[in-house]
């Protein structure tokens, strides 16, 4: 349990450090390298378009990350006390999280990178957090590949060029042909690639469970759920104003869960 609580502190710090490093590399390395023609139109310059797209992806990733932390799943400890006599307890599909030390409604899993449980209140923000983190990492990897290709004059036309980049760069780094900053960017390329694929996998798996109306905890415990139309399952999580929530980090998008809390 001590190791889990320690991981619950280290993992969010790791994510924030990676986000800070990514922002610094984008601002001080990748964006300046795109300003090749000073006489080009400023409004349609590659640096401005790249910066606007990266700002959109990173803002949605960090915004939904904060919302996942702020909007914790409903604490059902009150159902075990005197308040249970005044109000009926929520339906089953609850779970006691040992890390958070509380009972949550529609518990899915405990996310160590946010240090919080994922449940009915923050499921939509968690899915969007995984989506935009994956896009931001993969986009940063593409920008980093373009930067390394221009600085080291490396062609990535061959499909295996990216796979052989790391071992080749390590040997060149110890021989002095590759600078420390360039080697750091190369290492970040593989880290962005791994995080991007992992978050994309989490996002796709979570969407599949939402379509089925299940949670990861129910699948792990073998709990059967009542079959419902997939559109209703999606609307319950993403709400009626799902497009607005997809473009701007926000919590209440007219979902059924938010309506129940307002009552």
Assign 14 a pLDDT band (cuts: 50, 70, 90). Answer: very high
CA angle (170, 171, 174) in 5-degree steps:
85
Instruction: Catalogue the long-range contacts made by 24-28 (C-beta closer than 8 Å, 24 or more residues apart).
Output: 25/140, 25/144, 25/185, 25/188, 26/51, 26/54, 26/140, 26/143
On whether residue 111 sits in a domain, the answer given is yes
d(CA 55, CA 67): 18
Q: Give the span between the Cα atoms of 195 and 172, in whole angstroms.
A: 26
| 214 backbone dihedrals φ, ψ, rounded to 5° | -115, 165
- Distance from CA of residue 163 to its chain's centroid? 25
- The pLDDT value given to residue 261: 46
Q: Where are the beta strands (DSSP E) in the chain?
A: 94-97, 102-105, 109-111, 116-118
Per-residue pLDDT of 117-134, as tens digits, reads 998 888 999 999 999 999
In terms of pLDDT, which residue wins out, 157 or 194?
A: 194
| Rounded-to-integer distance, Cα 214 and Cα 227, Å | 10
Q: Are strands 94-97 and 102-105 parallel, antiparallel or unpaired?
A: antiparallel
Total structural domains within the chain: 1
Domain residue limits at 20: 1-35+44-77+92-247
Tell me: the pLDDT tens digits for 58-74? 999 999 999 999 887 76
Radius of gyration of the chain (CA): 22
DSSP alpha helix (H) spans, 38-179: 46-70, 123-152, 165-175
- The pLDDT value recorded for residue 92 is 53
| pTM of the full structure | 0.86
Write out the catalytic residue numbers: 111
The confidence score (pLDDT) of residue 47 equals 83
Residue 65 lies in a domain: yes
pLDDT of residue 260: 47
Per-residue pLDDT of 95-107, as tens digits, reads 788 888 778 778 8
Question: Is residue 252's pLDDT more than 90?
Answer: no
Q: Is residue 259 part of a domain?
A: no
190-207 tens-digit pLDDT: 999 999 999 999 999 999
What pLDDT score does 202 carry? 94
Condensed to tens digits (0 to 9), the pLDDT of residues 207-238 reads 999 999 988 888 888 887 888 898 898 888 88
Kindly state whether residue 145 falls inside one of the protein's structural domains: yes
255 found inside a domain: no
Residue pair 67/111 in contact (Cβ under 8 Å)? The answer is no
């Amino acid at each position: 349990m001590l190791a889990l609580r320690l991981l619950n502190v280290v993992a969010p710090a790791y994510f924030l450090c990676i986000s800070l490093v990514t922002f610094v590399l984008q601002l001080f390395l990748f964006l300046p390298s795109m300003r090749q023609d000073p006489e080009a139109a400023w409004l349609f310059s590659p640096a401005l378009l790249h910066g606007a797209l990266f700002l959109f992806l990173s803002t949605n990733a960090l915004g939904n990350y904060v919302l996942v932390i702020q909007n914790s799943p409903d604490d059902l400890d009150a159902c075990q006390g005197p308040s249970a006599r005044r109000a009926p307890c929520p339906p089953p599909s609850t779970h006691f999280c040992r890390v958070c030390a509380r009972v949550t409604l529609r518990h899915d899993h405990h996310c160590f990178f946010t240090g919080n449980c994922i449940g009915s209140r923050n499921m939509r923000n968690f899915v969007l957090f995984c989506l935009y983190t994956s896009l931001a990492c993969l986009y940063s990897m593409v920008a980093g590949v373009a930067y390394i290709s221009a600085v080291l004059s490396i062609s990535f036309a061959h499909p295996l060029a990216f796979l052989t980049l790391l071992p080749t760069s390590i040997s060149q780094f110890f021989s002095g042909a590759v600078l420390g900053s360039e080697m750091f960017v190369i290492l970040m390329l593989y880290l962005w690639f791994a995080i991007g694929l992992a978050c994309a996998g989490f996002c796709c798996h979570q969407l599949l469970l939402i379509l089925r109306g299940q949670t990861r905890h129910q699948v792990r415990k073998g709990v059967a759920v009542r079959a419902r139309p997939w559109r209703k399952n999606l609307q319950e999580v993403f709400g009626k104003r799902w497009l607005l929530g997809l473009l701007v980090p926000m919590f209440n998008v007219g979902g059924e869960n938010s309506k129940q809390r307002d009552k």
